[in-house]
């Protein structure tokens, strides 16, 4: 599909976590609308495979979003190779599930580092370019930013953190003509979600959500709506759209979740012991791989 009139045509866009899932889908959508795309991620071979599918100009870099020096090095290389970035999508993220008391401290901390600290490092590396271009940063958050769920403490904490970080950054940069948006998304068909469904407690918790809240959306569907929001420099985007309504009942959600958990978790535990999942999906496993120097 072509988007001849897209304001993204000819602009440089950076996507973290671009090797698979939503990041891959967003890279494809941005490229189809005429953007030059820089793909960043931990899996070099997969990044190249994604890059080869893009219709427009692109380049890829293997880099860890928690590596300050590596991210700044790649930012300089992106500018040299593709031009000054005017769009940055902070999408890289990992998740783990299971009881907090049984979670591995290293794994739990890694979720916070990738999702929250990695988003801050991404912003720090690319803000000079965005300030120069009057650009736009989209922070990918989650329904978990609004309502925390049991058995997902690290993920929920990190997504609440990126929401607050993006809102703070938006206010700080408003007078400097840089837009900052927050993407609130629900279940998206990625390897992380498919892996989560292999664990009975996480599968059951999702199945106990209201029917609209448990639906899984194709990554391409979510990417199309997020890229449309980028074109409009939206301060927030909700996929599906009904997620916006959760902001109105946000204060009521913690006691409701607590009441549900008080009765349902013991019942679930009686049939299937809870266990820590470790990092979910192939992307999660890549996040635990030893860090290598930034490569392109």
**155 belongs to the catalytic site:** yes
Active site residue: 136, 155, 184, 238, which one? 155
What residues contact 244, with CB distance under 8 A and at least 6 apart?
Answer: 184, 236, 238
Look at the block and give the residue holding tokens 């009975």: 200
8 Å CB contact between 166 and 179: no
Active site amino acids? 155
């Amino acid at each position: 599909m072509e988007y001849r009139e897209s304001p993204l045509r000819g602009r440089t866009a950076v996507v973290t976590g671009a090797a698979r899932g939503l990041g891959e889908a967003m890279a494809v959508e941005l490229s189809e609308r005429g953007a030059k795309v820089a793909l960043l991620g931990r899996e070099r071979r997969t990044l190249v495979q994604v890059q080869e599918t893009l219709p427009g100009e692109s380049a890829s870099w293997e880099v860890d979003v928690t590596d300050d020096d590596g991210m700044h090095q790649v930012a300089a290389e992106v500018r040299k190779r593709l031009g000054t970035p005017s769009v940055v999508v902070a999408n890289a993220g990992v998740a783990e599930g299971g009881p907090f008391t049984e979670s591995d401290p290293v794994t739990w901390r890694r979720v916070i580092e990738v999702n929250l600290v990695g988003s801050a490092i991404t912003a720090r590396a690319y803000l000079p370019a965005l300030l120069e271009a009057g650009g736009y940063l989209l922070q990918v958050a989650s329904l978990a930013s609004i309502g925390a769920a049991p058995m997902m403490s690290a993920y929920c904490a990190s997504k609440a953190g990126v929401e607050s970080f993006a809102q703070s950054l938006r206010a700080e940069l408003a007078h400097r003509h840089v837009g900052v948006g927050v993407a609130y998304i629900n279940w998206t068909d990625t390897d992380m979600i498919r892996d989560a469904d292999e664990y009975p407690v996480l599968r059951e918790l999702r199945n106990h959500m209201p029917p609209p809240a448990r639906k899984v959306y194709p990554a391409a569907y979510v990417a199309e709506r997020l890229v449309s929001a980028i074109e409009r420099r939206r301060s927030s985007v909700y996929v599906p759209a009904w997620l916006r309504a959760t902001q109105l009942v946000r204060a009521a959600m913690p006691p409701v979740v607590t009441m549900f958990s008080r009765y349902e978790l013991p019942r679930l535990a009686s049939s299937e012991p809870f266990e820590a999942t470790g990092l979910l999906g192939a992307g999660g496993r890549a996040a635990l791989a030893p860090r290598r120097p930034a490569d392109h």
